Amino acid sequence: MILGWVCRVCGAEVDVARPFSWTCPSAGADDPHHVLRLVDDGVESEVIDDANPFVRFARRMAWFSFAVGNGMSETEALSLARSVANGFLVTPFAVNGPLSERFGVEVWVKDETGQLAGSHKARHLVSVMLHLRVAEELGLLAERPPLAISSCGNAALAASTLAARESWPIEVFVPTWMDPAFGSAMDALGASVHRCERAAGDPPGDPAMAGFRSAVAAGSVPFSVQGPVNAWCLDGGRTIGWEMAAVGAPVSELVVQVGGGALASCAAQGLGGSVSLLAVQAEGCAPLERAVTAVGDDADPASRWAEVMTPWEEPHSLADGILDDETYDWLAVLEAMRVSGGRPVVVSEASVVEAVEVARSAGLRVSPTGAAGVAALVEGAQSGPVAVIASGVDRSGA
């Protein structure tokens, strides 16, 4: 069972029963470099025989511990999960024959294209929504503040989908270059979409993120897939790793595309440290590899956050969903790589382009972002049986 949170940077502790504990209590505008991680009692809780992962793994999750810790019965909590997380499923994880044949190693694919909103992003966000709905049911939330998210596409669509299902107002902050298909889908869901341009004299960093931070400062809920701004997103993200672990695939490496880093950190945590994590970024935006190189073997990388994890100038790649100019959850990804003997991988743009064709030829309905992990296989980064995550359905109509 989850007991609470502890900050990776300053060690501050937060009880799981505390509502709206999005960030470390020490974090602030002048000191944003904090991130909470989950702490459990060391006992792996029993799974529930249910096809919905948010019911199946409920007893391992923070939203569930928050609910029962504040007096909600297990029956009531599970009923709420079936409603709020309706439509979630355990996605396929199996050997892909064409990829295995092409790359000469067994390639297992976790296919998230059939997940709610077409990617893994909703897994992160529904745990935030469950926290909010539990708080509402318990009378801890008198009024619904608007939700806010900054995203390149998949996370924004997942957030808008979940918000629409709960009739919860949401503001979405996106870059000007976001795929118009996402904008049309979010408009149809009733989201308030803000395209954020970079103006002369703006500080370094993503202007969409700046807009998001302003909204949160004004009272919006950080409905985010970035751990430092809402640690509750890390709760639901772990389900993808648990599903993979349950299959018992004989893989030695997990190749994961990295933007903000939450997918890689959560998948690695759920799958376990015996599988090496290869964290993949495109050469046009690789802040993780730059930071990992800078810290080297430093035993206290958290103390160097502001120094080494700096915004990437002019991010660019066909895989536009991983163009976060900072890897927000880099500390957790670095820890997972160190524990598992993994490493960062930077792939060329040519490999990203080739990976799209390769993945689609292998039967995967992925966007360039969803194929980005395959780009590492194109470059021969793997050394043994490998798992990749195909997340982000192709919306181009191609």
- HEC profile of 168-192: CCEEEEEECCCCHHHHHHHHHCCCE
State how far the Cα of 176 lies from the Cα of 49, in Å rounded to an integer. 44
Amino acid at 274: S
- Looking at residue 151, what is its pLDDT? 84
User: What are 78-104's pLDDT values in tens digits?
Assistant: 999 999 999 999 999 999 999 999 999
- Dihedral sign of CA atoms 98, 370, 132, 165 in order: negative
Query: Over the stretch 128-167, which tens digit does the pLDDT of each residue have?
Result: 999 999 999 999 999 999 999 998 788 999 999 999 999 9
**Cα separation values, 94 from 160, 230, 246, Å:** 30, 32, 12
Residues 244-260: what's their mean pLDDT?
97
pLDDT at 341: 97
Q: Are strands 221-222 and 147-150 parallel, antiparallel or unpaired?
A: parallel
- Find all residues with CB under 8 Å of 200, minimum gap 6, and list them: none
Per-residue pLDDT band at 398 (split at 50, 70, 90): very low
What is residue 182's predicted lDDT score, i.e. its pLDDT?
84
Cβ burial of 102 (10 Å; 0-12, 13-18, 19+) is middle
Q: 3-state SS string over the chain?
A: CEEEEEECCCCCEEECCCCCCCCCCCCECCECCCCEEEEECCCCCCCCCCCCHHHHCHHHCHHHHHHHHCCCCHHHHHHHHHHHCCCCCCCCEEECHHHHHHHCCCEEEEECCCCHHHCCHHHHHHHHHHHHHHHHHCCCCCCCCCEEEECCCHHHHHHHHHHHHCCCCEEEEEECCCCHHHHHHHHHCCCEEEEECCCCCCCCCCHHHHHHHHHHHCCCEECCCCCCCCCCHHHHHCHHHHHHHHHCCCCCEEEEECCCCHHHHHHHHHHCCCCEEEEEEECCECHHHHHHHHHCCCCCHHHHHHHHCCCCCCCCCCCHHHCCCCCCCHHHHHHHHHHHCCEEEEECHHHHHHHHHHHHHCCCCECCCCCHHHHHHHCCCCCCCEEEEECCECCCCC
Find the mean pLDDT for residues 337-358. Answer: 98
Q: Average the pLDDT over 27-54 and give the result.
A: 95
Q: In the prediction, which pLDDT does 33 show? A: 97
Nearest to 172 by CA among 163, 184, 160: 160
Q: How confident is the model at residue 26 (pLDDT cuts 50, 70, 90)?
A: very high
Distance of alpha carbon 68 from alpha carbon 61, whole angstroms: 11
Backbone phi, then psi, for 227, in 5-degree steps?
Answer: -55, -40
- Which CATH number applies to 93-119+234-390? 3.40.50.1100
Residue 381 vs residues 2, 214, 271, 357, 374: alpha-carbon distances, Å: 36, 40, 20, 18, 10
- Confidence class for position 248, pLDDT limits 50, 70, 90: very high
CA distance 196 to 175: 5
**Could you give the CA distance from residue 6 to residue 252 in angstroms, rounded to a whole number?**
30
């979010």: which residue's tokens? 186
Using the predicted structure, report yes or no on whether residue 322 has a pLDDT greater than 70: yes
Of 54-58, 139-143, 200-204, 257-261, minimum mean pLDDT range: 200-204
**What is the rounded end-to-end Cα distance, in angstroms, of the chain?**
45
Read off the pLDDT of each residue in 283-302 and give the average, rounded to a whole number. 98
Of 151, 154, 121, 107, the C-alpha closest to 278 is: 107
397: confidence class by pLDDT, cuts 50, 70, 90: low
What is the model's pLDDT at position 383?
93
Averaged pLDDT score across all residues of the chain: 95
